Chain A
Amino acid sequence: DAGITQSPRHKVTETGTPVTLRCHQTENHRYMYWYRQDPGHGLRLIHYSYGVKDTDKGEVSDGYSVSRSKTEDFLLTLESATSSQTSVYFCAISPRGDSYNEQFFGPGTRLTVL
């Protein structure tokens, strides 16, 4: 499992509430990623990080923010959750982060926004 944990694993929340998902890695990799996975869309990149305090947007970043204050932790925040953010969220790490970008995934968080 590449030393990646995600918490919580399941969460049900209500529209308009803030939600924070945590990704934790034990191998000090520089590159970390947040994806969401929805039926028919595959995995889509939300945000990624290439070091402590260094983050950038992905394909579907609207409504999400991230923070990385320590190498091992990458947090994804939904400031005000909406039903369209109901999804499965995966964190990934990469030892390289370049054009040979092998990525390894955490177990996922299933989020339901009512």
Chain B
Amino acid sequence: QKEVEQNSGPLSVPEGAIASLNCTYSDRGSQSFFWYRQYSGKSPELIMFIYSNGDKEDGRFTAQLNKASQYVSLLIRDSQPSDSATYLCAVVYGNKLVFGAGTILRVKS
């Protein structure tokens, strides 16, 4: 069983702070990792992908991948109330995406 684990939260951070979201996965052979954002009642939206060990930055978002420890994280700098959503981690196993259950993020103004 391919697994992707996330803390369900909610993770509460004040506006302007850094939000740190974490995800662990079970298969060392996985090559591709994605972060989706999902607002309540809406569909998941791809916000970051990472394939190589290390950090990848895109605006206020940084994805971090550590294949040896089998975890991937998402940092959101200068968090805004509009960042309040559920964040889904997804890992490719073979040619299929397996999703974690998601972490609820709440940014308080």
A-to-B contact residues, CB < 8 Å: 33, 40-45, 48, 58, 90, 97-108
Instruction: Give residues in B with beta carbon < 8 Å to A.
Output: 4, 8, 31-32, 34, 42-46, 49, 51, 88, 90, 92, 94-102
Query: Secondary structure of the A side of the interface?
Result: loop
Check if A41 sits within 8 Å of B101, measured CB to CB.
yes
Question: Judging by beta carbons under 8 Å apart, are B88 and A106 in contact?
Answer: no
Shortest distance between the CB of A12 and any CB in chain B (Å): 17
Contacts of A101 in B (CB 8 A): 32, 92, 95-97
Given contacts A90-B44, A106-B43, A107-B43, contact A99 B101 (CB under 8 A): no
A33, A90, A99, A107 pick with most chain B CB within 10 angstroms = A99
Ordered nearest first, which 6 A-B pairs have the shortest CB separation?
Answer: A42-B101, A105-B43, A43-B99, A42-B99, A99-B31, A101-B92
Q: Could you tell me the distance in whole angstroms from the C-beta of A84 to the nearest C-beta in chain B?
A: 18
Residues of A within 8 A of B94 (CB): 99
